[in-house]
Amino acid sequence: MIDTLFSGLIHGSAYALVAVGMSLVFGVTNVANFAQGSLVAVGMMIAWWLGSSLGWGIVPTLIAVIVVSAILGLVLNVAVISPLEGRKPIAALLATIGVGQILDNGLQIIFGPQTRPFPKLLATYNYQLFGVRFGTSDIVMVIIAVISMLALWAFLKYGRIGQAIRATSQDPEAARQMGIPVKSIRNISFVIGAVLAGISGIFVGLFNGNINPTNGGTIGMTAFVAATIGGLGSIPGAVIGGIALGVVEALGISWFGDGAHDLITFGALLVILILRPQGLLGKNIDVKTEPLTGTFLGGGRPIVLPWWGNVLGAVALLATPFFFNDYLSGVGTQIAIYAIAAVGLTLISGSAGQTILGMAGPFAVGAYASAILTMQLKWPFLVALLAAGLIAALAASILTFPVWKLAGHYVAIATIGVGYVMVAIIRLAEPLTKGSLGIQGIAFPSVFGQSLYTQQMQYLLDVVVLIIALIIVSRVRASHLGHVFEAVGSDQDAAEALSIRTSAYKALAYALAAFFAGLAGSLLAHQYTYIDPTIFNVNMSLLVLTIIVMGGMNSPLGAVLGAIILIGGPELLRFATEVRVLLYGVLLILIILFRPQGLFAKKV
């Protein structure tokens, strides 16, 4: 038990360092920086390279990591975040996601994706106390964590720049009128946050022993949970949240196994959001009017085709399977599957104005539901397809039911938790889902007794489902319900003044989006013939979101265009697999900066 608590304390200290940087940036800019975990990976990989290849010691390595991290933090704010000032803060949140994708993928390209041992910059197991083995690295990490946090507290409380940071976090406009250089203060905040993340990366590497460039994403997401638990914007809360989460994770894993990690971490996130969304030490704010409430839309209106244009488009789409070879049809199935999920997402993230960051969860539920229904209960594929969508919608609705009293980034964060929790439950339900091993031998889709065993047949099925999805979503948007969704997304306060239950309509829009994600998951399962939990990761959620950002968050046809560009483009141009996610990040940032309404939409 003592060794478990010690392990939790060490991990919690790393989470706290990263979470403090996140809370600092959020407090000053109201930006939830999802690139923070990637900066952890940057510090980790630079330290690995300097220690392994150049033989540097801990002090010069630490200095180098601080310098590189500081530069990246400054560039992040100057090049990406500052140009978005004056727009909805959700735009900056999405931009940091794009930066994270670029950094993560860039590290894999530069250093390779393989796992490798971290250099012994400090001794790791040279002490023993009460039966617990630990090292100089653990002691130094805790000391650095404590000193960093105390120094940051003193800096913010007594330092002139620190006081300016606090003033800027409380009221940027008032601070600007008092002569405080708000832009410079924000630069400093991003630099400090990045440096804390980079330092954390060194000690995470020392503690884990083996690393790879993808480790930062998990650390960053967990640290974000810690910051949310403590209260975004609260430095002491980030410390408490990080250490508490580290200890709870360590105890939970020791009792239930490593497979329970995500369930513990993101289950705790959902619990805190439901019971105290502002966090343990966060300010008592109105969660209906917090700063990230509102849609990302940059005043965009979807381009509407005449009826004959829609008919011609549908005919052309239906004709493609008859002219495509196996390779092109295989690409087409990927485009269509992701387009189906993205079309549904436009109802909630576009019309209803609520950004959703966890669509991989409903995707996974639909895939597993369809596979289990057809393989174990012998249901016909078409019945299982429809049931998969309904089960995904029901599961998503149940898990998110309590969070719709919140708004803005609180709901967006909750959907991240829901996505992780869904996949974690699938992983733990081994008797039904075979856990981490996955389900193999899934039959090809069968329609009216005809097995669709060729790529062309499967592509034709996907196209038919996509067209049906477009028709349904377009009909919903044109109906009274669709107008209510748009009223909620355009001005939530005005909608509530008209006695519209905005939370109920957002929940309904999310259920519809989850339904279409479930359909997409079913098609994916039967065309891959094998699924496992690793397929349904955060990159899948971000890809679906990036698709609608590119095409136009309020445009179903734009979602199809976004899927063609983001999935079909790299496939057809045969870009290397490792470059794709980097490309997604670059395109996401460019769209947010220069065409926030999307490609298939126009300004109003």
Neighbours of 4 (CB within 10 A): 16
Domain containing residue 560: 301-575
pLDDT band at 572 (very low <50, low <70, confident <90, very high): low
pLDDT for the residue 285: 53
pLDDT tens track for 319-337: 998 999 888 899 999 999 9
pLDDT tens track for 287-311: 444 444 444 444 567 777 787 888 8
pLDDT for the residue 289: 43
| Residue 498 and residue 462 share a domain | yes
Burial of 27 (C-beta count, 10 Å sphere; 0-12/13-18/19+)? buried
Give me the helix-helix angle, 2-29 and 215-230, nearest 10°.
80
Looking at per-residue pLDDT, the higher value among 260 and 341 belongs to 341
The answer on pLDDT for 35 being more than 80 is yes
Name the least confident of 242-251, 325-334, 453-462: 242-251
Q: Rounded to an integer, what distance in angstroms lies between the CA atom of residue 327 and that of residue 103?
A: 31
Q: Pull the structure tokens for residue 532.
A: 């496992």
Q: Are 416 and 358 in contact (CB under 8 A)?
A: yes
pLDDT tens track for 338-354: 999 999 999 998 888 88
CATH of the domain at 398: 1.10.3470
pLDDT for the residue 253: 80
pLDDT for the residue 576: 55
Name the least confident of 166-180, 203-217, 513-527: 166-180
Q: Is residue 433 part of a domain?
A: yes
pLDDT band at 131 (very low <50, low <70, confident <90, very high): low
Q: Residues 394, 395, 401, CA angle at the centre, nearest 5°? A: 85
Q: Is residue 283 part of a domain?
A: no
Give the pLDDT mean for 438-463. 93
* Last residue within a domain, chosen from 240, 275, 310: 275
pLDDT for the residue 282: 67
Q: Rounded to an integer, what distance in angstroms lies between the CA atom of residue 303 and that of residue 320?
A: 24
| Residue 73 and residue 23 share a domain | yes
The answer on pLDDT for 385 being more than 50 is yes
Q: Pull the structure tokens for residue 306.
A: 């005449």
Give the pLDDT mean for 244-253. 84
| Residue 309 and residue 253 share a domain | no
133 forms beta bridges with: 128
Give the pLDDT mean for 461-483. 95
Mean pLDDT of the chain, nearest integer: 85
| Residue 238 and residue 378 share a domain | no
Give the pLDDT mean for 374-398. 95
Neighbours of 575 (CB within 10 A): 13
Burial of 310 (C-beta count, 10 Å sphere; 0-12/13-18/19+)? middle
Distance of CA 395 to the CA centre of its chain: 19
Give the pLDDT mean for 445-467. 93
pLDDT for the residue 290: 41
Q: Are 346 and 297 in contact (CB under 8 A)?
A: no
Neighbours of 528 (CB within 10 A): 17
Q: Rounded to an integer, what distance in angstroms lies between the CA atom of residue 519 and that of residue 516?
A: 5
Place of tokens 């964590």: 145
Q: Is residue 280 part of a domain?
A: no
Q: Is residue 589 part of a domain?
A: no
pLDDT tens track for 432-448: 999 889 999 999 999 98
Burial of 378 (C-beta count, 10 Å sphere; 0-12/13-18/19+)? exposed
pLDDT for the residue 238: 86
| Residue 343 and residue 250 share a domain | no
Distances (CA, A) of 112 to 104, 105, 106, 521, 540: 11, 10, 9, 30, 21
| Residue 555 and residue 467 share a domain | yes
Give the pLDDT mean for 232-246. 85
| Residue 418 and residue 313 share a domain | yes
The answer on pLDDT for 80 being more than 50 is yes
* Last residue within a domain, chosen from 275, 290, 309: 275
pLDDT for the residue 76: 93
The SS3 of residue 113 is coil
Q: Is residue 288 part of a domain?
A: no
* Last residue within a domain, chosen from 216, 241, 275: 275
Number of folded domains in the chain? 2
Q: Rounded to an integer, what distance in angstroms lies between the CA atom of residue 545 and that of residue 256?
A: 33
The answer on pLDDT for 573 being more than 60 is no
Contacts of 405 (CB under 8 A, 6+ apart): 287, 503
Sign of the CA dihedral 142, 148, 150, 151?
positive
| Residue 213 and residue 88 share a domain | yes
pLDDT for the residue 377: 93
Give the pLDDT mean for 509-525. 96
Q: Rounded to an integer, what distance in angstroms lies between the CA atom of residue 494 and that of residue 22?
A: 32
The answer on pLDDT for 458 being more than 60 is yes
Q: Rounded to an integer, what distance in angstroms lies between the CA atom of residue 144 and that of residue 155?
A: 16
Global pTM reads 0.86
pLDDT for the residue 293: 40
| Residue 371 and residue 225 share a domain | no
Q: Is residue 18 part of a domain?
A: yes
Which of 93, 370, 29, 90 has the alpha carbon at shortest distance from 224? 93
The answer on pLDDT for 171 being more than 80 is no
Q: Which of 8-22, 222-236, 393-407, 442-456 has the highest mean pLDDT?
A: 442-456
Q: Is residue 591 part of a domain?
A: no
As a whole number of angstroms, the longest Cα–Cα distance in the chain is 78
pLDDT for the residue 543: 87
Q: Are 413 and 269 in contact (CB under 8 A)?
A: yes
Q: Which of 57-66, 130-139, 228-237, 545-554 has the highest mean pLDDT?
A: 57-66
Give me the helix-helix angle, 182-208 and 215-230, nearest 10°.
120
What's the CA dihedral at 26, 29, 30, 32 to 10 degrees?
-50
Q: Is residue 550 part of a domain?
A: yes
Q: Are 566 and 584 in contact (CB under 8 A)?
A: yes
| Residue 246 and residue 342 share a domain | no
pLDDT band at 396 (very low <50, low <70, confident <90, very high): very high
C-alpha R_g of the chain: 24
Place of tokens 């220690």: 51
pLDDT tens track for 133-147: 777 777 877 787 788
Contacts of 193 (CB under 8 A, 6+ apart): 20, 21, 22, 24, 25, 33, 36, 39, 73
pLDDT band at 82 (very low <50, low <70, confident <90, very high): confident
pLDDT for the residue 283: 64
| Residue 269 and residue 344 share a domain | no
Distances (CA, A) of 358 to 266, 295, 416, 491: 12, 16, 4, 24
| Residue 317 and residue 271 share a domain | no
Neighbours of 461 (CB within 10 A): 23
Q: Rounded to an integer, what distance in angstroms lies between the CA atom of residue 270 and that of residue 267?
A: 5
